[in-house]
Amino acid sequence: MAGKKTEHWLSIVGIGEDGFEGLTAEALAHIEAAEVLVGGERHLAKLDDDGRERLSWGSPLEKTVQTLLARRDRRVCILASGDPLCYGIANRIVREIGSDGVVVVPHHSAFTLASARLGWDRARVETLTLHGRPLERLVPHIQPAARLLILSAGGATPGEVAGLLRQRGYGESRLVVFEHMGGPKERRREGLARTWRARRVAELNTIAVECRSGPGAMIEPRTPGLPDSAYEHDGLLTKREVRAATLAALMPIPGQLLWDVGAGSGAIAIEWMRTNPNNRAIAIESHADRLASIEKNSRNLGVPDLQIVAGKAPEVLAGLAKPDAVFIGGGATHKGLFQTCWRALPMGGRLVANVVSLEGEQALMAWRQRRGGDLVRLSIERAEPMGRMAAWRPFRPIIQYSAVKS
């Protein structure tokens, strides 16, 4: 049975570098039917002045959104670049006002065009944007043999990407930069990261990278359990093997939020975020030196969006966004901490805590008696040199508690 068609008041039309000549009949019909036209100066300037109301994007964007909502009784058309739902304005608009009454007519995305130019299997390519985002976001994607398509922040971005690749031991990686793709001014430049030093390209560009690792390249997979040497820390670091077991217990799910309470070096929060680019985390720590290490580690390991909160739990937890999972790595004996974290979790949320002290173990056992859950004792020994031979060096056992709220 056919569903009832929703009458739309807002259309969002994607436009390529070929301008209005490249639009479909459907896209042109939405533009012609609009009573209000919205967009950047570049797109609005291409329209004839026919007396219709025109709105340019304001700052902050919420101000323009409110202006649009005040015109819901009229037909409004937003002119956007490429595919408006691919790192575009349509995502923000739909998030702010909902999808009811909104229709999106996309043009080719830069990713689609670049894949076609290169003959790359679009399903096997990783895509991301550096427009308005830190360069460090690229770090988790730099892997041997990876193929990347990157929306650039500007003309200097390809050089910055090449520099990061060289820094991480991927100087032999091939870069292809497409300028003004899909239009009459399209141009293609390519070369190796190690020789790309001083080149500057057009502000509007898309970058393709074919990662090739060299000797000594940084190999940092997104699976939990990075080498301990990947972190700056003051000695209080969850060891690699324990980190892997802890992330397994936390069960990272794409798009979910983690509280890392007593974050130390930030390792748990960082590896939670690295498992999926949509994961979010808040690292809570009271020591100033460790806060600085968390910030440095988050950038070095490619999750610069990690939220860092200074203060002591549980007091500092008030007002934070509600988590889907909580890890307690420090402060397990603090009064009210478990109760506060448990209350903040939704049904199906996970609580995991690691302790090494007898007092911490007692706190875990007391909480387990109240709420159930699992206790695991993790013992690790590593083979290390002992003179001309080797011997096992044991680390302090870790008591790990885990539970799912039901």
Which top CATH class is 10-107?
A: alpha beta
279 by Cβ neighbours in 10 Å (0-12 / 13-18 / 19+) ranks as buried
Share of the chain above pLDDT 90, in %: 85
The alpha carbon torsion through 301, 303, 309, 311 (nearest 10 deg) reads -20
Residue type for position 281: A
Backbone angles phi, psi at 270, to 5 degrees: -65, -45
Among positive and negative, which fits the CA dihedral 157, 189, 171, 115?
positive
**This prediction's pTM:** 0.90
Tell me if 222 sits within 8 A of 302, measured CB to CB: no
Domain spans, the chain: 10-107, 111-210, 228-404
Both structure tokens of 351: 């609580």
d(CA 182, CA 16): 7
Do the beta carbons of residue 324 and residue 258 sit within 8 Å? yes
What are the tens digits of pLDDT across the range 378-402? 999 999 999 999 999 999 999 999 9
Residue type, 349: G
Residue pLDDT, tens place only, 143-159: 999 999 999 999 999 99
* 104-127 pLDDT per residue, tens: 999 999 999 999 999 999 999 999
* Domains 10-107 and 228-404 belong to one CATH topology: no
Does residue 259 contact residue 228 with C-beta atoms inside 8 Å?
no
Alpha helices in 260-336 (DSSP H): 267-274, 288-300
What's 111-210's CATH class?
alpha beta
Which burial class, exposed, middle or buried, applies to 234 when counting CB atoms under 10 A from its CB (0-12, 13-18, 19+)? exposed
Rg (the chain; Cα; Å): 26
User: What is the CATH number that goes with domain 228-404?
Assistant: 3.40.50.150
What is the rounded distance in angstroms from the CA atom of residue 368 to the CA atom of residue 373? 6
Residue located via tokens 């570098």: 17
pLDDT value at position 4?
A: 41
- pLDDT tens track of the chain, all 406 residues? 344 444 789 999 999 999 999 999 999 999 999 999 999 888 888 888 888 999 998 888 888 888 888 999 999 999 999 999 999 999 989 988 888 889 999 999 999 999 999 999 999 999 999 999 999 999 999 999 999 999 999 999 999 999 999 999 999 999 999 999 999 999 999 999 999 976 779 999 999 999 999 999 999 999 999 999 999 998 888 899 999 999 999 999 999 999 999 999 999 999 999 999 999 999 999 999 999 999 999 999 999 999 999 999 999 999 999 999 999 998 999 999 999 999 999 999 999 999 999 999 999 999 999 999 999 999 999 999 999 999 999 999 999 999 999 9
